[in-house]
Structure 1
């Protein structure tokens, strides 16, 4: 009679501490998406070029790289919990400083500080959860981190929408409000125990770890887990080095890790989240409708992350990756098709949308003409405008002339986000928390996380330039090809880890 109740209570406790730790993902998601609403304000206030805008958005990833590099070794030395407390402090400082910045340089520094917090939280939260979760719940619980990321993204889009019409510099409120959840996260972490695996592996505090494990799964579960950890310790080598990652039997693991980390970002997900309103404006939407569509993107991301959490321990990691990457390829191809079929019409109505009278007068020479691509209209416009006017036209005015199937663009973006949310989003972090041997996990996940952030930065930095110079058709076509390559990679290299203990996964991969 008591056994089901006891099992439920253990599951509830594990869920409770996993959810608190995963709140770092909420801050990560919020920080990633909130900048999308502030782009117009910061570009105007700091008088940014495309390159400066890309850097101010993407510089957070430089901080994440630093966080990636130091978080793993620091968590091995000082514990997972202590590193997470430090990330909460960084998020709080970054939010307040970026909201009050008065120069471009101080704004960038504040963003980088937040990036260090992101780099630490995105690596250590999944490690902690994987180390405390029973094998049959591990995929779902680790995915709570991704769930909180997408909740953070959705909340940021809602927050931006409701703050955008504030008088004065609304972008400051958009960025500063993050300090509230960051401080609450810092307080909540004090309710979380230290990782039992870390306590045994690093400090040999078996009895303290036993008490935590008993609370998670009972005495029998605690003893079985301790025995597994100690057997693993007996087999383990001394703490690993970066050089070891690229030699011998680790090569297979690193192919999987680097490959999945590369394709998670190179397929353009952060371009969508960071620039969602900008993309919808490129499809001819108004500012209000673009912010509302960004909210729909966030809610879609949230819904399908819940689906992934439901399926990851039932269907498995690899099937979700195959389904998701295939759907991403289809979605990005749809977006490419929509922009490719767009036309750009110069007529009385579209010209009236241009506020600059001199530019409007110059472009009136093209009235009555229709162009089949951005490249065509840019070629026709170039002789009529000076360099500054042409730059402004490409960045701000081109959206006024487009005639496009905006519904198809919205469906494509929503399908892409849904596919990412059931696959590369949550599954990558689950896999990375599972596949590395314990003696080298901290440094390995830092190296792979650094690489993941580097790819993310590249996408984020170049996206505004791509939209202006390559146009949305070619930009989305490139992402579609990369999504197809990710499907091929997953099918060829990724293994299934569903239902296995961390020690069993290690033995499978090493052998």
Structure 2
């Protein structure tokens, strides 16, 4: 059972019996299941590109355009500081964090597919409305609908991929979500760059393009299979076994299927998964998976650099076209890093990627802060050499993030939760992630304006904290079957003191007492020469 322990002899005895082969059936389902990641990345990136364009600003934010033109030939940290403009971006995240709780119920009761289909509808309608928008209010409504797509998609897709994937390749398969997210960001940058010369209204083409992948996602969501875990949880045992055999490429799935049924029995006994998540034995999953990692993923500062790259590069003195091109380079680094992580994360493990990349990110943040402190501000333009150095350092930072906190920020939480709290836990993950994404997006430009280069030192300090968090609290989860990961916390030097429930303590004390009674009985038998009748 997902809530059991080592002593019950349950799942741990069956793990070595798991078998699988690569199957096109699994690959196709995972591909269509991951398309929500593409739309997540595309809608995050495309809006941040259009906010630096003159025709968009002229139509919706003329005061920002006026301020931008005043500083056209000088550098200024505060050039793009406008809270309504920032709300255009962050409304997406606020919508996502509210809708993820509705997605949790749908994902648990009706399956992962249902949430993926709802997400596709949100992306489709939001993209169409964005293209037709004539007022700020319409733009915000469109962003809210896109946020519905993100809320449902990000809740279901990481679970879908983790449950479909075999244990030995779960890290690589789950990172399809991050890979498609990066692809979406990359295509959005290309669209922004290619429509830059279309004036006015080129931004509408960029925003409306998202409707095409949304239609593909909707069609794929309808056709793809439900996960075996979800089918068992809903009581469709025959269908679950059939899907499990197809995705594993073998009929020999008895061991894994029995684990799924055990986990499902535990899950069906839970009537309030959110309240259950607060129980003592789930504290590690709550602290690490639901709160720590999704919050820290945004506090690395990467998304601020990545999604606001055109604005940042313009603030640092680059032209509009140059800013879009340079941001395209950083996104390419993110895509390359994700591919590296996909191929190596199941070999080297999650912890090593977190720690090694964290050290690189700290060094990069310090370098950026030092250069800006010495060379930037007060109308002083950056030299070509300094500008090139900054681009290289940002490239290296994104490369480090892209193989650690980027993909692992979604992979590790989706692994940690047992089936009975999995949908609820993933909702908290999305909610916390969106809260911190929205806060960082809403506050980054104003922080850049007031803290100047100090904002990068702040991010560097936060990366030190989160690296310590990973080092001390996260056990290695590579190649561990998803329904057995809870066992890692029972052996962990810190968490084992917390997850041990009162029932476990009574059981342990009872076992100790039984052993003492047995020893006492044997002594009495030997003393009085009583025949041994103990089995």
Is TM-score (shorter-chain normalized) higher than 0.5? Answer: yes
Distance 1:241 1:234 in 2: 14
Task: Show the counterpart of 2:354.
Answer: 321
The reply to whether residue 488 of structure 1 matches residue 468 of structure 2 is yes
Structure 1: 5+ residue stretches without partners: 1-5, 344-373, 378-397
Residue 505 and residue 67 in structure 1: after superposition, are their counterparts in 2 closer, same or farther (change >3 A)?
same
Distance 1:334 1:12 in 2: 46
Residue 231 and residue 154 in structure 1: after superposition, are their counterparts in 2 closer, same or farther (change >3 A)?
same
Does the CA contact (< 8 Å) of 2:263 and 2:418 recur in 1? no
Does the CA contact (< 8 Å) of 1:32 and 1:273 recur in 2? no
Partner SS for 2:253: helix
Task: Show the counterpart of 1:11.
Answer: 23
Distance 2:128 2:263 in 1: 44
The reply to whether residue 134 of structure 1 matches residue 148 of structure 2 is no
Task: Show the counterpart of 2:448.
Answer: 467
Distance 2:252 2:311 in 1: 51
Distance 1:44 1:489 in 2: 45
Distance 2:155 2:479 in 1: 22
CA positional deviation for 1:219: 4.2
CA positional deviation for 1:507: 3.2
The reply to whether residue 32 of structure 1 matches residue 20 of structure 2 is no
Task: Show the counterpart of 1:330.
Answer: 363
Distance 1:221 1:498 in 2: 23
CA positional deviation for 1:293: 0.7
Residue 240 and residue 497 in structure 1: after superposition, are their counterparts in 2 closer, same or farther (change >3 A)?
farther
Task: Show the counterpart of 2:328.
Answer: 295
* Cα shift readout 1:124-166 (whole Å, capped 9, x = no counterpart): 1110111121111111101111100001111111111001110
Does the CA contact (< 8 Å) of 2:120 and 2:217 recur in 1? yes
* Cα shift readout 1:305-355 (whole Å, capped 9, x = no counterpart): 000001111111111111122211111111112211214xxxxxxxxxxxx
Partner SS for 2:200: coil
* Cα shift readout 1:447-506 (whole Å, capped 9, x = no counterpart): 2321111011000001121222332x1121111111121111111111111111122112
The reply to whether residue 286 of structure 1 matches residue 299 of structure 2 is no
CA positional deviation for 1:218: 3.8
Structure 2: 5+ residue stretches without partners: 1-18, 65-81, 490-498, 501-535
Distance 1:138 1:469 in 2: 43
CA positional deviation for 1:403: 4.5
Does the CA contact (< 8 Å) of 1:65 and 1:450 recur in 2? yes
Distance 1:80 1:223 in 2: 23
Residue 196 and residue 7 in structure 1: after superposition, are their counterparts in 2 closer, same or farther (change >3 A)?
closer
Partner SS for 2:407: helix
Does the CA contact (< 8 Å) of 1:88 and 1:182 recur in 2? yes
Does the CA contact (< 8 Å) of 2:23 and 2:249 recur in 1? no
Does the CA contact (< 8 Å) of 2:301 and 2:459 recur in 1? yes
Does the CA contact (< 8 Å) of 2:266 and 2:420 recur in 1? no
Distance 1:76 1:161 in 2: 41
Does the CA contact (< 8 Å) of 1:94 and 1:110 recur in 2? yes
| 2:143 paired residue among 111, 115, 137 | 111
| 2:131 paired residue among 96, 99, 107 | 99
Task: Show the counterpart of 2:101.
Answer: 69
Distance 1:408 1:308 in 2: 25
| 1:410 paired residue among 375, 387, 391 | 391
Matched positions, count = 450
Task: Show the counterpart of 2:304.
Answer: 271
| 1:197 paired residue among 212, 229, 235 | 229
- 5 Å-filtered alignment, 1:163-312, equals 163-202=195-234, 204-236=235-267, 237-257=269-289, 258-312=291-345
Distance 1:248 1:479 in 2: 32
* Cα shift readout 1:237-276 (whole Å, capped 9, x = no counterpart): 4244323323311112211121111110012222122211
Does the CA contact (< 8 Å) of 2:20 and 2:166 recur in 1? no
Distance 1:12 1:231 in 2: 28
Distance 2:309 2:411 in 1: 26
Distance 2:313 2:340 in 1: 26
What TM-score, normalized by structure 1, do the two folds share?
Answer: 0.84
Larger Rg: 1 or 2? 2
CA positional deviation for 1:303: 0.5
Does the CA contact (< 8 Å) of 2:168 and 2:479 recur in 1? yes
- 5 Å-filtered alignment, 1:398-477, equals 401-403=381-383, 405-471=386-452, 473-477=453-457
Distance 2:51 2:367 in 1: 26
Partner SS for 2:23: helix
Task: Show the counterpart of 1:51.
Answer: 83
| 1:23 paired residue among 35, 42, 48 | 35
CA positional deviation for 1:35: 1.2
Distance 2:370 2:433 in 1: 29
